[in-house]
């Protein structure tokens, strides 16, 4: 049976909780060495401890092989969204995750400059270091990731790790055309609504809040917090004008 067929068979077994049979299918598929998805699925099983004992080292090993074969960092998405707190509570888990991030960065996954920078700002995966966060955001910007501007603007807007400066936040947001995340329209909306560096303009603020809400499903990096806050503020503003 071809590797791709074995992976599909394994997916079916996994969907009906026949975990051992799924593992065997993925393992047999991986031995053929032609389907990166097989290694990715094995990585997930070790990451979550499905049938096998949870083993971060093996999980990242398989994710790395999958990345080499496909060029897609699928495993990273699962790690960051679902298992990050668990991994960060484990010393070996943190080390393996850092090594995995560094490896992918070395192989051209430039978007990880943003991920790593944010981790320096949260002090989870790396020791808290705002200077390193700023440095990684500038590296992201150099590689064409405008979300780096948004992240820096957010720091200056909130005074998080830097001296608060609405002017600097505005300059960073206006450094590029278009929108990289919901951060840009949300911060601009706040500045117009509260008269922070910009002249108060409720109509303009509402237009920007609306764009945060409308674009939420279109922008993968959209922070859910901004969507929720924009909805709440819009509701209150409409109430004030009724």
Q: What is the DSSP string of 90-109?
A: SHHHHHHHHHHHHHHHHTT-
Of 90, 94, 139, residue with least CA distance to 119: 94
Residue 170 domain flag: yes
In the predicted structure, residue 114 carries a pLDDT above the cut 80:
yes
Residue 3 domain flag: no
Q: What is the 3-state secondary structure (H, E, C) of 1-28?
A: CCHHHHHHHHHHHHHCCCHHHHHHHHHH
Can you give the pLDDT at residue 220?
55
Output Rg (C-alpha) for the chain, integer angstroms: 22
Residue 119 domain flag: no
DSSP string, 188-209: HHHHHHHTSSSPP-HHHHHHHH
Number of domains in the chain: 1
Residue 132 domain flag: no
Residue 194: domain span: 159-242
Q: What is the per-residue pLDDT across 143-202, written as a single tens digit (0 to 9) for each? A: 999 999 999 999 999 999 999 999 999 999 999 998 888 899 999 999 999 999 999 999
Residue 47 domain flag: no
In the predicted structure, residue 241 carries a pLDDT above the cut 90:
no
Can you give the pLDDT at residue 215?
78
Can you give the pLDDT at residue 221?
56
**Band of residue 77 on the pLDDT scale cut at 50, 70, 90:** low
Phi-psi region of 152 (alpha: psi -120 to 50; beta: other; left: phi over 0): alpha
Residue 241 domain flag: yes
């Amino acid at each position: 049976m071809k590797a791709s067929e074995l992976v599909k068979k394994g997916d079916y077994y996994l969907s009906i909780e026949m975990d051992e049979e799924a593992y065997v299918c993925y393992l047999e598929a991986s031995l053929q060495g032609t389907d990166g998805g097989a290694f990715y699925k094995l990585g997930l099983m070790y990451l979550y401890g499905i049938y096998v004992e949870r083993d971060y080292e093996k999980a990242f090993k398989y994710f790395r092989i999958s990345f080499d074969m496909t060029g897609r960092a699928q495993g990273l998405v699962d790690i960051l969204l679902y298992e990050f707190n668990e991994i960060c509570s484990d010393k070996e888990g943190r080390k393996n995750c850092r090594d995995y991030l560094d490896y992918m960065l070395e192989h051209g996954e430039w978007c990880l400059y943003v991920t790593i920078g944010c981790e320096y700002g949260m002090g989870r995966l790396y020791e808290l270091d705002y200077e390193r966060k700023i440095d990684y955001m500038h590296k992201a910007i150099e590689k064409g990731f405008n979300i780096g501007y948004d992240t820096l603007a957010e720091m200056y807007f909130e005074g998080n790790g830097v001296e608060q400066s609405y002017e600097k936040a505005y300059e960073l947001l206006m450094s590029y055309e278009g929108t990289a995340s919901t951060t840009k329209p949300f911060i601009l909306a706040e500045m117009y609504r509260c008269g922070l560096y910009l002249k108060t303009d409720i109509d303009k603020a509402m237009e920007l809040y609306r764009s945060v809400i409308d674009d939420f499903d279109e922008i993968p990096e959209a922070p859910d917090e901004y969507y929720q806050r924009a909805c709440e503020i819009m509701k209150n503003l409409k109430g004030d004008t009724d």
